[in-house]
Structure 1
Amino acid sequence: MFQEPDYRENLSLMLSEVLHDIGVNERIVMRRRRQFMLEETNGNISNSLTDINGTEYLLGSQSEGTTTIGLHSDIDMLCCLHNYNIIQDYSEWEPDKRNYLMIQDVNTTPGYCFLQRLRNDEPLPATVTPCEHHITDRRGRILFKNTVINDSVQGDEHQHGPSIVQPGLHDTDRVLALPCKSWPQSASGWLDRQGIGRWPTQEVRRYAASTGCLVVPTGSKVSEYPELEWRISTSFAERCVMFNLNITQIRCYVLLKMILKSFLNPQDEINISSFMCKTVLLHCIENTESGIWKDNNLYTCLTYCLLELHSCVQNSCCSHFIIPENNLMAGQFTAETKHELSKNICDFIQNDRQRLLSIDIDDLGHRLQVKLNRVPNGNYYFPCYEQPLTLEYINIANCISIQNEHILKHLHNKNIRTIKQSLSKLMTFSDNGNRLEHAAFKLLAPFLFTTYGSILASSSIGENNQVSPQALVWLSAGLNSDISSSRLKLASLFYSTGNMERAELILRHTEQQYFSYPVLPICGCRYQVPEAVTEGFKRICSEQNEDCIKHIIGFCVRFIQKEINCVPHELQYEMFRSTQDDMIHRDEYKDCWMDWAVVDSLAFLYFLQYKIYRHLQRYQDQQQALCKLIRAIETDKNLRHRETALNILGQCMEQENRHQVALNCYILSLQQRARNNVANIHICKLLSGLMVSQ
């Protein structure tokens, strides 16, 4: 079936070119993978420092690089809880953990299991029900209910099957999982299975076996015991398999998902999942010669996958690639839906060329028509395929900011000794970590160095108004966290101790650097997609690795309360923004930064310049700094703490005796954030002062 006319080869090559142009090429796939592996590693370093006994994994299309911007793929986050131990044999029992025995019998659906609670002191079945999430069955076994997931939904999240969906730039499907160190017995046949293509290799299979498996809290749709079943997951092995696809196989998968979204799952109805398409693709690769999967045969490979998908729908059976007894389509759709899906797939196969030309996702159809000379190119603008690389660095930077916030939240009320212990733990990732941990350490560590140095400095300033040499060593080690934030904290420290000349020198250098590069402000406190991204920023993202973040990102400046003596008194107010009533309107997980002083880099730079030039009696420079602060507030679309910038501007205006302008600043600040805003205090102070003076 693979000896095709020339037009099939021509169409295959055109399709491959179009997919290359929209970002499905080796370079961007590898960059996407590194981005998500770095984010994953950053998150797990953060978890280690904050004593979270779990590991988070970023899985699915985004981390595999098997998606495009137009597919709007969710991020799949798997949260593995290490205080649990799932075993398949009593010899795997471990003390000091919640041990459960995996049970697969006539009552469990293939690919699923029950979890029987074991005793904590020895590897024997438990006889006492530990909590409401357990039930005793007719055989006296204490079984763990998968409804435990209901207790994990927080804030604006909602549950979808085994996933907890967290809304955001990309919806994040957070799946709780319990680890099993051994390879599932029901998947043992896969390790020795050999298809026509002898793929995956034995090396890949051996590695997959070493990853063990997981269980996730969801039952089969055809189960008699849906609240007791846990799905056996081989996600780590599947990621390894996907990382071993060639670019043609990845392009075929992307096309399958575009077809699925455009024609087979209309109006977001999920009858056939992308995981089913992935499974069909993997079976097709396994059962064909490896030489088939080349760019000039993409069209034929796609047709083969669609025929296989049609066969699965017709038989209502799509066997899991690694656990073939698990039918992914069991109970998935009604006879009517099955008939409709079968008809739609047949219709697409019979009219595939026309259907491909009508796919709107990423302008694939129009791009293909231009390639095939069906329509003139004219002045039609196609978005640059390098855009994923820009988003990649924005996402990495945002991840760094969020993980830094998590660490600061953990350290907020800790003593200096505990903070130093966290630093020691962090250093192990530099000394003993793998390549990814080394790369993640270089991005994350400078922020903690700066914070620790600033805490030491605040303590010594409080005692004798001096900065200890040890504090300066740590602050110097953190200077290259990014283009501005750590340098601004050092300048703020010198300002607070009266060393105006040194502070001014740092600010002047920071401003020069800030405008020597196409810098983008990033703040993880309330993440939004930046509104203004320059072409220079995009070019650097395209040409350089993630180390360039230190030169093109300006993070917001964060001071926790232990750093209060390094903070100008005008900004210290921000640490006390919330009244008791305001606290009710705060999100426990997202708004921890409201107990700190947090300000955008550029606004803080100009504010410090204003204050320092005032002390140095350089009044012309002082007024220029004030004008720059005003202009930044009015024109910078990427300011994330605009209300704070307005609050410090208002206090500058008070010092200028422009009280009405100051009042207007505070009112504008309240329009930005009505609650948890210290502008209320500033207004009361201003009006009280005016009344006293009169």
Structure 2
Amino acid sequence: MFQEPDYREHLSLALSEVLHDIGVNERMVMRRRRHVMLRETMDKISYRLTDTNMTGYCLGSQTEGTTTIGLDSDFDVLACHHDLNIIQDWSDLEHGKENYLMIQDENTSPGYCFLQLLQPYDPLSVTVIPDEHHISDRSGRILLKNTICKGVIQGAVEHGPSHAIQGQPGLCDRDNVLALPCKSWHQSASGWLGRQGIGRWPTQDMRRFAASTGCFVVPTGSKVSVYPDLEWRISTTLAERCLIFNLNITQIRCYVLLKMILKSFLNPQGEINISSFMCKTVLLHCIQNTETSVWKDNNLFTCLTYCLLELHSCVQNDCCSHFIIPENNLMAGQFTADTKHILSKNICELIQIDRQWLFSIDIDDLGHRLQVKLNMVPRGVYYFLSFLEIQEKVLTFGYLDIANYISRCHMLVLYYLHNKNIMTMKQSVSKLMTFSDNGNRLQQAAFKFLAPFIFTSYGSILASSSICENNQVSPQALVWLSAGLSSDITSSRLKLASVFYSTGDMERAELILRHTEQQYYSYPVEPICRCWEKPQGAITAEFMRVCSEQSEVCIKHITAFCVRFIHKEINCVPRELRYEMFRSTQDDMIHRNQYGDFWMAWVVVDSIPFLYFLQYKIYRHLQRHQDQQQVLSKLIRTIVTDENLSHKETALNILGQCMEQENRPQQALKCYLLSLQQRARNNAANFHICKLLSGLLACQ
């Protein structure tokens, strides 16, 4: 099987080179993984700071680095809730928590379980059904339904246990899987810990780590279950992630090719007959059953053929055994006899016609690239992105994803702090510092991204309090504001300038703004805002070049985050912008998403419009009329030409305020009406219009 004919070795090497060129190489795989693991770590930090009893784990192709631009993989997140204690033995009962015992008996499908509600002091005493999410079975046990998680995530399409966020142009689809953790390794997977394949893979270290990760239960029943609403699937997803992280590059390339085959030949219309998880499982079985030395670049095509043969056998037998819990048949009830016949026929054809089908894979131009690499067609016949262009794209969107996640985490922390007292805020900042002092390398890297934003917000809150007391900025507030200046190229500096403006220190505020504007136009800067989900706008070639050439630290120097003030910072906000905190009428509140629109109770403004507005106000105060008119023109030009503004309605509102101060009420009214076209509800423009018209009527 593994004695390669010369042409197969030649084809394997060419195929490996093509996959390298489209980004499936050691460097890009590791960079993809680091980007996503940074995202996961920032999530964990923000949950810790906000006392959220939850952990998010990033999973799937994006995390594994087993994807390409053309595969367009979605983003899988396991949202793990720790409010419930899931146990396998009554000795693990915890007081003060709801305890559930994992039960596997003749009524549960292999790889699935029931969750029985227990009492800490008398486990068998629960006989009363507490709510509609529980049910009593024939034995009198109180079981938790998996339907408790239905409808949890608004705007999501439910597929079994996952909630897919789809249909947002320019954004990666997200698959959110809700889960409950069990600290101990599941008993049904204990046999796997003692098994070892021909190539001594997985290693003992991998198995030891896998066992330390425990397991999860996710809310979905087997397709062949008699009790689909009561079963919970047992998941060993962190152990599986560990295994994928330990594959060599040939094995990763083989997995990527299997996914391309799925998309091109086996699930061409987007239907999910065979899942990528089944392909991953087949790959892991094949790796376990072969010598490690087989998996190398000059053997790639034969390894791929071996995986297809194994997949064909699985389809023929209606059985694909879970790699860690082999009793769980992933194909049970998955497809009809007709579908099985078609799939079997298609896989068989791929194996029999040898390499020809590779040339018809359009994903990432793989087929055309392979033809060129094998000298079957001249190099100039087809055009496709070079390796450097693909690297630029992958790194650019990776950096932007990190930046967007910083924005999201900062917003969640602000939401937590907005109604907390100073002591609680101080405690949160102290918690944050532990990740710098005692964290691992990934936590320290995440800390360096998140901390400046939180320092700035904390300093601004302290400043607002001291301004209220004596119109001065306390030394402590200045220390924290200064510590946050490295957040990005604009937002923290603008907040500091706004603090000085609010105390009447116009000269220091003007100096900061002038320096910030110079810095902004010295770099290829992209605006960042995740207050609401919006498509990514056009990205400049210069920005992509910087991303390709520099490490992730460059994010701080090439991004301009939106500026956020919660209500506790109100004394640091110019008077004209404070209306944004009261943008919603009682009727508007009905149209706000309680989970995502909480920022509407704050002042949130894009960096550059805010910079020009502050300059306008300062130059007006300093009676520098020519400079005042110049920045007003810049503000107008920015609003008209910048397509990447996330809060254009707010920018139009502050422009309207400027027009009122210029005694140009008609232009001010036009700005407010344009603002309402951007956001009809939850918009301070409604208040500005009423105030403007009231003033005009009073003058008549």
TM-score using structure 1 length: 0.97
Question: Is 2:46 the counterpart of 1:46?
Answer: yes
Instruction: Using the TM superposition, give the Cα deviation of residue 489 of structure 1 relative to its aligned residue in structure 2, in angstroms.
Output: 0.3
Partner Cα distance (2:32, 2:673) in 1: 43
Matches within 5 A, 1:95-106: 95-106=95-106
Q: 1:332 to 1:125 in 2, by over 3 A?
A: farther
Partner Cα distance (1:125, 1:355) in 2: 62
Instruction: Using the TM superposition, give the Cα deviation of residue 97 of structure 1 relative to its aligned residue in structure 2, in angstroms.
Output: 1.8
Instruction: Using the TM superposition, give the Cα deviation of residue 205 of structure 1 relative to its aligned residue in structure 2, in angstroms.
Output: 0.5
Question: Is 2:526 the counterpart of 1:520?
Answer: yes
Partner Cα distance (1:518, 1:113) in 2: 53
Deviation string for 1:410-438 (max 9, x for gaps)?
11122222212211222222222222211
Instruction: Using the TM superposition, give the Cα deviation of residue 555 of structure 1 relative to its aligned residue in structure 2, in angstroms.
Output: 0.2
Matches within 5 A, 1:542-691: 542-691=548-697
User: What's 1:278 paired with?
Assistant: 280
Instruction: Using the TM superposition, give the Cα deviation of residue 92 of structure 1 relative to its aligned residue in structure 2, in angstroms.
Output: 1.8
Instruction: Using the TM superposition, give the Cα deviation of residue 352 of structure 1 relative to its aligned residue in structure 2, in angstroms.
Output: 4.3
Instruction: Using the TM superposition, give the Cα deviation of residue 6 of structure 1 relative to its aligned residue in structure 2, in angstroms.
Output: 1.9
Partner Cα distance (1:358, 1:411) in 2: 55
Matches within 5 A, 1:178-577: 178-378=180-380, 380-382=383-385, 384-386=389-391, 387-577=393-583
The one-letter code matched in structure 2 to 1:526 is: W
Partner Cα distance (2:362, 2:100) in 1: 48
Instruction: Using the TM superposition, give the Cα deviation of residue 528 of structure 1 relative to its aligned residue in structure 2, in angstroms.
Output: 2.8
The one-letter code matched in structure 1 to 2:694 is: S
Contact 1:398 1:527 in 2 (8 A): no
Contact 2:104 2:112 in 1 (8 A): yes
> Residue 564 of structure 2 aligns to a residue in which SS?
strand
Partner Cα distance (2:532, 2:292) in 1: 47
The one-letter code matched in structure 1 to 2:155 is: D
Partner Cα distance (1:158, 1:222) in 2: 22
Q: 1:196 to 1:154 in 2, by over 3 A?
A: closer
Partner Cα distance (1:165, 1:685) in 2: 43
Of 427-436 and 341-350, more deviation after overlay is shown by 427-436
Gaps of 5+ in 2: none
Identical amino acids, percent of aligned pairs:
75
Instruction: Using the TM superposition, give the Cα deviation of residue 369 of structure 1 relative to its aligned residue in structure 2, in angstroms.
Output: 2.0
Deviation string for 1:450-486 (max 9, x for gaps)?
1111111111111111111111111111111111100
Partner Cα distance (2:468, 2:90) in 1: 58
The count of corresponding residues between Structure 1 and Structure 2 is 693
Q: 1:487 to 1:122 in 2, by over 3 A?
A: farther
Contact 2:609 2:635 in 1 (8 A): yes
Instruction: Using the TM superposition, give the Cα deviation of residue 123 of structure 1 relative to its aligned residue in structure 2, in angstroms.
Output: 5.0
User: What's 1:14 paired with?
Assistant: 14
Partner Cα distance (1:52, 1:629) in 2: 40
Of 191-200 and 275-284, more deviation after overlay is shown by 191-200
User: What's 2:135 paired with?
Assistant: 135
The one-letter code matched in structure 2 to 1:158 is: V
Contact 1:95 1:122 in 2 (8 A): no
The one-letter code matched in structure 2 to 1:15 is: L
Partner Cα distance (1:576, 1:30) in 2: 46
Contact 1:116 1:125 in 2 (8 A): no
Matches within 5 A, 1:67-146: 67-124=67-124, 126-146=126-146
> Residue 349 of structure 1 aligns to a residue in which SS?
helix
Partner Cα distance (1:392, 1:199) in 2: 31
Of 459-468 and 684-693, more deviation after overlay is shown by 684-693
Instruction: Using the TM superposition, give the Cα deviation of residue 125 of structure 1 relative to its aligned residue in structure 2, in angstroms.
Output: 5.7
Gaps of 5+ in 1: none
Partner Cα distance (1:424, 1:671) in 2: 43
Partner Cα distance (1:553, 1:28) in 2: 23
Question: Is 2:57 the counterpart of 1:57?
Answer: yes
> Residue 486 of structure 2 aligns to a residue in which SS?
helix
Instruction: Using the TM superposition, give the Cα deviation of residue 398 of structure 1 relative to its aligned residue in structure 2, in angstroms.
Output: 0.4
Of 579-588 and 417-426, more deviation after overlay is shown by 417-426
Partner Cα distance (1:645, 1:443) in 2: 27
The one-letter code matched in structure 1 to 2:640 is: E
> Residue 441 of structure 1 aligns to a residue in which SS?
helix
Question: Is 2:38 the counterpart of 1:32?
Answer: no
Instruction: Using the TM superposition, give the Cα deviation of residue 155 of structure 1 relative to its aligned residue in structure 2, in angstroms.
Output: 2.3
Deviation string for 1:26-83 (max 9, x for gaps)?
1111111111111111111111122211111111111111111221212111111112
Instruction: Using the TM superposition, give the Cα deviation of residue 124 of structure 1 relative to its aligned residue in structure 2, in angstroms.
Output: 4.8
Partner Cα distance (1:336, 1:71) in 2: 27
Partner Cα distance (1:602, 1:369) in 2: 49
The one-letter code matched in structure 1 to 2:16 is: S
Of 667-676 and 131-140, more deviation after overlay is shown by 131-140
Contact 1:125 1:141 in 2 (8 A): no
Partner Cα distance (2:122, 2:577) in 1: 57
Q: 1:528 to 1:19 in 2, by over 3 A?
A: farther
Deviation string for 1:66-113 (max 9, x for gaps)?
111221212111111112222222222222222111111222111111
Contact 1:153 1:159 in 2 (8 A): no
Of 99-108 and 477-486, more deviation after overlay is shown by 99-108
The one-letter code matched in structure 1 to 2:118 is: L
> Residue 390 of structure 2 aligns to a residue in which SS?
coil
The one-letter code matched in structure 2 to 1:165 is: A
Instruction: Using the TM superposition, give the Cα deviation of residue 439 of structure 1 relative to its aligned residue in structure 2, in angstroms.
Output: 1.3
Q: 1:278 to 1:98 in 2, by over 3 A?
A: same
Instruction: Using the TM superposition, give the Cα deviation of residue 194 of structure 1 relative to its aligned residue in structure 2, in angstroms.
Output: 1.5
Instruction: Using the TM superposition, give the Cα deviation of residue 403 of structure 1 relative to its aligned residue in structure 2, in angstroms.
Output: 0.9
Instruction: Using the TM superposition, give the Cα deviation of residue 406 of structure 1 relative to its aligned residue in structure 2, in angstroms.
Output: 0.9
Partner Cα distance (2:75, 2:278) in 1: 17
